[in-house]
Structure 1
Amino acid sequence: MVSNIAGGRPPRQGAEPGAPLGALEVYAAKAHGYLGAGGDQLVKLAGLLRPAVLESWLRSLRGGVDPMDVLDDRGLRGADLRRYVQSHPIAALMPLIDKLLVQDTAGTGSIVVVADQFGRVLSVHGNDEQVAAAAEIGLRAGDDLSERRIGTNAVGLVVRTGRATWIHGPEHFLHRMHQITGAAAPVHDPDGRLVGVLMIAGGVRVAKPETLALVKATATAAEMDLLLTAMRAGQRGVSTRLDAAHPQPAGRLGLDVLGLGQPQLSIADERVPLSQRHAEILLLLAEHPEGLGADHLALLLDDTDLDNGTVRAAMSRLRAVVGAAVLGSRPYRLRVPVATDVEALRAALDSGDVDSALRLHAGPVLPRSTAPGVIDIRDELRLRLRIAVLNSRDSGALRRWTAGAEGRDDAAAWTAYRATVDSDSPLYAQIEAKIRVLDRRMGADATRMQPFGS
């Protein structure tokens, strides 16, 4: 149960579990009151929530998540869920997770939730009573805990940020999750990609520093296990050999998916237009060089309606476009390297080259795509680019960002841009006018409602 102790001040950003929970609950409960009132009252959220939680609430609000959302039957179930779990990289880590995390929390009244890189629950562990209670609020195998689906929660925030975190009681965006505390940590593969999330969830006892430390330690051990597995595979040459029966096509393959133009595949000196679905598949396979099973690929393309037969048909049509030598099966994978403009943009960001990143950013990743896997890539790149531009404090970079569709209504970017301009110049007055328009549109102080890291 959530504590009812009152008093104190809202915990600071980065506060550890064990911070004054009573004060946190009181302030978060007030925040829910203002959230329900909406309109001008939303400006008051900034003084009541930890900054990371505030940013998540605002994203949840913009995404149309209803705080009063009730549990429904959406999710992956039955044989589809079993196949997906069995083919997921986390499956090989379950004995380790059981030994280091599940067994250590047995008898504490808490549960362990194992989720994939998108926030979908793969399994829930604990005694029968606690697992059943968790299911009643939406912590069930097959359920989607991503921020875009259910708003602020520990698993969803880890998926969004890639960092360990904890969410307590009424800090959850959904009212039905107010009676739990969650401490969660990410698991990354050797290439740094998120492959899963581990969470301990339960009562106030979870809100202790040692609980988050235990989850993080287990996640680190899982990452080391993945690294050792990859090293052994590399020593056997598994990751570097192409199947001799499927020779590599001449020339370099390139995939362009940024911006509003039609996606294209470059083969040698020829540019081949791609349909939206084919571009989605190639991008997802490029992002998962280890390959994707049919169930996993279907989930990344459409988390509700796509069946394996439809995926097989799409792959067959794609082979006719790009050639059979490019695609492997069981699992579906790229047999040859495909350089993507997404990869190039990431490399520029990794090196701190903001100018190159902005040049490469022709627009969002497949902007008309609604595939969950593509949406996650799109959101990741936009957030990384935005933070890089804001942190650069460079007038030229800020001008280019605010001139584009994704930065046009970015109040924090306009505020940063204003700080780089002479206050006596006509440009300063134009920027000031834009900020005031954004303030009125949001019905609040936009610069406070949209911090740099949101």
Structure 2
Amino acid sequence: MVSNLAGGRRPRSGVEPGTQLGALEAYAAQAHGYLTAGDDELSQLAGLLRPLILESWLRGVRAGIDPMDPGSERGLRGADLARYRDAHAIAPLLPLIDKLLVQDTARTGLIVVVADQFGRVLWIHGNPEQVAVATEMGVREGDDLSERRVGANAVGLVVRTGRAVWVHGPEHFLHRMHQLTGAAAPLHDPDGRLVGVLMLAGGGRVAKPEILALVKATATAAEMDLLLTAMRAVQPAPRDPAPVADGPLGLDVLGLGQPQLSKGGERIPLSQRHAEILLLLAEHGEGLGADHLALLLDDTDLDNGTIRAAMSRLRTVVGAALIGSRPYRLRAHIATDVEALRAALDSGDVESALQLYAGPVLPRSTAPGIVDLRDELRVRLRTAVLRSGDAAVLRRWTAGADGRDDAGAWVAYRATVDRDSTLYAQIEAKIRVLDRRLGADATRMQRSRS
């Protein structure tokens, strides 16, 4: 049994901000010892971390993130950063955020971080000394705080989960962030899409319910401002005339097969990059500026010249009339298999969703915008499968690559089977294999969130 370094009982999994912080710090610090000990000790993590943090750490391990990563100068900087953030949907909200959050908190030694929907820091407000301390930890304007880049942190977890969260000290995956506590909340546009993240950060005093409530209230006020602005915009933006199409357009990007565009009865094979661009444009009907598209395609900061070259090559493949400019946008609707899958999930038709799900979205792609979309659809589909309680649906899910090692799905499947049947014994054996491979505590934690 793991010893209690803090004395007394372990922190409860549902611990609230501001309570039992000493014990939480001690357990998280001990968890880092197991983390650096290697795979054989990972099963010990489940007894030391809150479920949300545990899941993030395990994703960080699978992604190969180094907890001792010292950070780098890579990020969006200078004129590129200024141009990107000035055009971002959050920019008009800065006066409101300043009034509700920055003015009062800056005097307390806390910093206010405003990030985009991908976890990239756009603005940091606070006194210069505290901003400098945050910079040393790798929290600076232009840096990527997404979970896939730096592991568990408040901004990254909001992007990942869509929910307000707090992360304290050693709960951060990276050692250089252990002196930081962050309370963060999502900011959505009127259509419900994530457009940014607000975070208050500083020392342990941030881990209080009222701090998280303050951040959430500011985010809500900002969302209302966006809604009112949208309601006032009664004049629609001019659009390019729709091109004459030979027939419906379709885009297939699910699964391991080569992505293809269907156009006028013809199937056009697409390269990975061309498929990524078309899918991102299909997902953003309002269009994408070159800077925004660059961030969605590559987190190593593509320049605008590279984007223009890629768009030129794509137009030669799919036709120049299909893609408009300034911003880049589709001039005709493309029906994607992603869109069909999402519609099936929206209607509650899990069986049809599973039939449509030939595999993850562009599984070989590492483009941040595609990775986020891939994760969103997989989580939604898995949730629908588990909630269905349908044996046939669960059997199909656990037979596929995404569900093969899904302990929660196997437990749900077992619940639909007669205990005296051979199938029950087979499922039970599979669950035990997963327990041994991942650690009983880790799979138990995975099952408990199902």
* Alignment TM-score, normalising by the size of structure 2: 0.93
Instruction: Give the partner amino acid of 1:55.
Output: E
Identity among equivalent pairs (%): 79
Q: Which residue of 1 aligns with 2:219?
A: 219
Q: Which residue of 1 aligns with 2:34?
A: 34
Q: Which residue of 2 aligns with 1:328?
A: 324
Q: 1:355 to 1:9 in 2, by over 3 A?
A: farther
Q: Which residue of 2 aligns with 1:343?
A: 339
Structure-to-structure mapping, 1:36-185, within 5 angstroms: 36-185=36-185
Q: 1:451 to 1:92 in 2, by over 3 A?
A: farther
Instruction: Give the partner amino acid of 2:46.
Output: A
SS of the equivalent of 1:401 reads helix
Q: Which residue of 1 aligns with 2:281?
A: 285
Instruction: Give the partner amino acid of 1:64.
Output: G
Shift of 1:366: 0.6
Q: Which residue of 2 aligns with 1:354?
A: 350
Shift of 1:134: 0.4
**What is the rounded CA distance, in whole Å, between the counterparts of 1:331 and 1:92 in structure 2?**
19
SS of the equivalent of 1:160 reads helix
Q: Is the 1:10–1:50 Cα contact (8 Å) retained in structure 2?
A: no
Instruction: Give the partner amino acid of 1:216.
Output: K
Shift of 1:350: 2.5
SS of the equivalent of 2:320 reads coil
Q: Is the 1:102–1:126 Cα contact (8 Å) retained in structure 2?
A: yes
Candidates 295, 303, 322, aligned match of 2:299: 303
SS of the equivalent of 2:256 reads coil
Structure-to-structure mapping, 1:168-317, within 5 angstroms: 168-233=168-233, 235-238=234-237, 242-244=239-241, 246-247=242-243, 249-304=245-300, 306-317=302-313
* Alignment TM-score, normalising by the size of structure 1: 0.93
Instruction: Give the partner amino acid of 1:333.
Output: R
Range with bigger deviation, 302-311 or 443-452:
443-452
Shift of 1:10: 4.2
SS of the equivalent of 2:64 reads coil
Q: Which residue of 1 aligns with 2:379?
A: 383
SS of the equivalent of 1:291 reads coil
Q: Is the 2:111–2:126 Cα contact (8 Å) retained in structure 1?
A: yes
Q: 1:132 to 1:228 in 2, by over 3 A?
A: same
- 1:288-334 Cα distance to aligned partner (Å, 9 max, x none): 22221112211211111522112111111222233333211111112
- 1:110-142 Cα distance to aligned partner (Å, 9 max, x none): 001111111111111101100001000010111
Shift of 1:392: 2.1
SS of the equivalent of 2:404 reads coil
**What is the rounded CA distance, in whole Å, between the counterparts of 1:314 and 1:453 in structure 2?**
42
Q: 1:229 to 1:335 in 2, by over 3 A?
A: farther
SS of the equivalent of 2:18 reads coil
Shift of 1:151: 0.8
Instruction: Give the partner amino acid of 1:185.
Output: A
The answer on 1:419 being equivalent to 2:418 is no
Candidates 443, 447, 451, aligned match of 2:443: 447
SS of the equivalent of 1:167 reads strand
Q: Is the 1:393–1:416 Cα contact (8 Å) retained in structure 2?
A: yes
Q: 1:10 to 1:117 in 2, by over 3 A?
A: farther
**What is the rounded CA distance, in whole Å, between the counterparts of 1:103 and 1:268 in structure 2?**
57
**What is the rounded CA distance, in whole Å, between the counterparts of 2:165 and 2:424 in structure 1?**
39
Q: Is the 1:249–1:325 Cα contact (8 Å) retained in structure 2?
A: no
Q: 1:76 to 1:453 in 2, by over 3 A?
A: farther
**What is the rounded CA distance, in whole Å, between the counterparts of 2:410 and 2:137 in structure 1?**
40
Shift of 1:193: 1.3
Shift of 1:213: 1.1
**What is the rounded CA distance, in whole Å, between the counterparts of 2:268 and 2:448 in structure 1?**
39
The answer on 1:371 being equivalent to 2:367 is yes
Q: 1:303 to 1:204 in 2, by over 3 A?
A: same
CA root-mean-square deviation: 2.0
Which stretches of structure 1, 4 residues or more, deviate above 6 A after TM superposition? none
Range with bigger deviation, 18-27 or 158-167:
18-27
**What is the rounded CA distance, in whole Å, between the counterparts of 2:7 and 2:387 in structure 1?**
35
Range with bigger deviation, 153-162 or 415-424:
415-424
- 1:344-394 Cα distance to aligned partner (Å, 9 max, x none): 212222232221211111111011112111111111111221122122222
**What is the rounded CA distance, in whole Å, between the counterparts of 1:39 and 1:108 in structure 2?**
41
- 1:240-267 Cα distance to aligned partner (Å, 9 max, x none): x6433x5453533222111111212223
**What is the rounded CA distance, in whole Å, between the counterparts of 1:148 and 1:8 in structure 2?**
35
SS of the equivalent of 1:66 reads coil
**What is the rounded CA distance, in whole Å, between the counterparts of 2:301 and 2:239 in structure 1?**
34
Instruction: Give the partner amino acid of 2:231.
Output: M
Range with bigger deviation, 282-291 or 161-170:
282-291
Shift of 1:154: 0.4
Q: Is the 2:44–2:441 Cα contact (8 Å) retained in structure 1?
A: no
**What is the rounded CA distance, in whole Å, between the counterparts of 1:248 and 1:452 in structure 2?**
53
SS of the equivalent of 1:432 reads helix
Q: 1:451 to 1:62 in 2, by over 3 A?
A: farther
SS of the equivalent of 2:124 reads strand
Q: 1:24 to 1:84 in 2, by over 3 A?
A: same
**What is the rounded CA distance, in whole Å, between the counterparts of 1:453 and 1:266 in structure 2?**
40
**What is the rounded CA distance, in whole Å, between the counterparts of 1:9 and 1:334 in structure 2?**
57
Q: Is the 2:65–2:149 Cα contact (8 Å) retained in structure 1?
A: yes
Instruction: Give the partner amino acid of 2:337.
Output: D
Q: 1:318 to 1:452 in 2, by over 3 A?
A: farther
**What is the rounded CA distance, in whole Å, between the counterparts of 2:230 and 2:334 in structure 1?**
21
